[in-house]
Chains A and B, each alone.
Chain A
Amino acid sequence: MVYYVAIFSVSVYRDPGVPMRTTVIVTALGPDRHGLLAAVATTIAEQDANIDDVSQTVSNGMFTMIMFVSFDETETSMAELQNALGGTGETTGLQIHVQHENIFRFMHRI
């Protein structure tokens, strides 16, 4: 799997009148079946968050998905999103993790 995804720094535009936009990375891993992407995407839509980018593959029956999701802090929060996706994880059998983008930037780029 070699493809690149652009992450825009969230702190570039800090107009005090504009609510801060947070970007998180959602990863979902687990045994494949129908409707997994739809289930995760629906939960994200219900939380008023936006999917900026998505990549998904199935290999040897294992479903792997990476989503870049952004949201306004006024509309939803990291905790709410994690909570909602935790529920989706339980119903779909997926391990779903929601992590702020900075951890990936810090770990993999100087």
Chain B
Amino acid sequence: MVFITAEEILETVRMIQAENLDVRAVTMGISLHDCSSRNVDDLCRRVFKKVVAHGKRLVPVAKEIQDKYGVPIVNRRISVTPISDVVASDDPAAYVKVAQALDAAAQEIEVDFIGGFSAMVQKGFTKGDCALIEAIPEAIAGTERVCSSVNVASTRAGINMDAVVKMAGVLREVAKRTAKQDAIGAAKIVTFCNVPEDNPFMAGALHGSGEPEVSINVAISGPGVIRNVVASHPDISFTDLADLIKRTTFKITRIGELVAREASEMLGAQMGIIDLSLAPSPKVGDSIAEILESMGLERVGAPGSTAALALLNDAVKKGGTMATSSTGGLSGAFIPVSEDAGMVRAAAEGALTIEKLEAMTSVCSLGLDMIVVPGDTSAAALAGMMADVMAIGMINSKTTGARLIPAYGKKVGDWVTLGGLFGESPVMAVNAAGNEAFVARGGRIPAPLQSLTN
């Protein structure tokens, strides 16, 4: 027998109805290792068949769980084995065909994104990795639902600067090819350091080599809930504030745990992880920036923003780890600019700069995420920005990623509309000082010491 108070029941209802509490994504990870074939058409058929066979019940099951508990499940997605591990070819055209097969499978089962058009190149490239990276512009621009990620750095291997430079070129090319849709292609490409193998969030989801045949990973959300809790306690100390956030996150994460258990059982998949992340959406009231602002900052980006984010991020993880024993993925607050109405407002007013976002990256999840920069930003500048984000991840033994959108034909202050969950954003200014000679060196920035950590 369990006792639940009326207040607790109404609290749950309020969180869902008034504060946008939702499950951000239920992502099914599918291993494609057994689809390998020397013949690329055979491979594509097998990939399509396997994704559809396992994924076809994902959308109806998510709907059933959503109705049963009255909590919205916003996105249903698929992640697959990094494609460079599945395709045995050094011809970029073969990779493009596989991307099309993935896109067709995603469309067939009605999921909005499929992630895993990916390669791990932190230490060096195989011929296949090179071909995959070369294929990214055509694969992404020519498909609707495929997402790509490339891991170019890790704490154990260092930063593959040749890969960083290649990715800068890829971003510019994708932006050009999708210029008519405000360079949306670049929003589907993540450059990672220490990529997690079980991340449910797009665009960086992939199903790593240590994962089971099929798994279910769940991404929770609920910035609105945390914001309201913070805003309704304007005078309490940081100690008390951290405690309050922890207790609230516990409740949010429990919903993720419930959904993950039930979805994995219904789908016959192994329960993977709950990602303890606070992910914003462009809806007002569903914003990380607004949480920081409710702590007492006039705008995110004000002095103290990094400290505020550090408190939030740590409290979210502490509350979340108490609520589930299956943590993983990215697990931390996200600060994507275009996807967060509060970040967009601060950027438009000039309170938030790329440099401040980079500092905030050092204490939270992901990195320079969904940042729209001028279309004429040089490849060297893009590479330098990505290298900075990779360095933060590498040195601090954490996952960082960059999703930069060089908006073709746009200048600082212009607006781009990416649509849906990607939101809209002003084009932000990039430091104009040159760095061509730096990135031209090539090679690898060595892995850091794991002691003497100051």
Contact = CB atoms under 8 A, between A and B. Distances in A.
5 contacts: A5-B5, A7-B2, A99-B71, A103-B12, A107-B8
Given A7-B4, A105-B2, 12 more contacts: A1-B6, A7-B2, A82-B67, A97-B70, A99-B68, A102-B69, A103-B12, A104-B4, A106-B254, A107-B254, A108-B8, A109-B2
Interface string A18-30: 0000000101010
Interface of B: 1-13, 16-17, 67-71, 251, 254-255, 257-258, 322
A27 B12 CA distance: 11
B4 A109 contact: yes
B26 to A, nearest CB: 15
B250 to A, nearest CB: 8
Interface in A1-35: 1-9, 25, 27, 29
Contact of B9 (A2, A104, A109): A104
Interface in A63-110: 64, 66, 78-79, 82, 95, 97-100, 102-110
A42 interface: no
Contacts of B17: 95, 97
Which among B6, B7, B10, B257 has the greatest number of chain A C-beta atoms within 10 A? Answer: B6
Contact of B258 (A9, A78, A103): A103
Nearest to B68: A100
B279 to A, nearest CB: 19
Contact of B255 (A4, A29, A103, A109): A103
A84 B192 CA distance: 49
Contacts of A107: 8, 12, 251, 254-255
Contact of B5 (A3, A9, A78): A3
A6 B1 contact: yes
Nearest to A24: B68
A97 B12 CA distance: 11
A68 B67 CA distance: 17
Nearest to B4: A104
Given A25-B9, A97-B13, A108-B251, A103 B3 contact: no
A96 B255 CA distance: 20
Main SS at interface, chain B: helix
Interface of A: 1-9, 25, 27, 29, 55, 64, 66, 78-79, 82, 95, 97-100, 102-110
Nearest to A109: B2
A4 B70 contact: no
Given A78-B67, A95-B17, A97-B17, A66 B12 contact: no
Given A27-B9, A97-B13, A100-B69, A106 B255 contact: yes
Given A82-B67, A100-B69, A108-B251, A29 B5 contact: no
A7 B4 CA distance: 8
Contact of B10 (A4, A5, A27): A27
B17 to A, nearest CB: 7
A87 to B, nearest CB: 16
A3 B255 CA distance: 24
Nearest to A25: B9
A4 B1 contact: no
Contact of A99 (B1, B69, B254): B69
Contacts of B16: 97
A5 B186 CA distance: 52
Contacts of A97: 13, 16-17, 70
B445 to A, nearest CB: 45
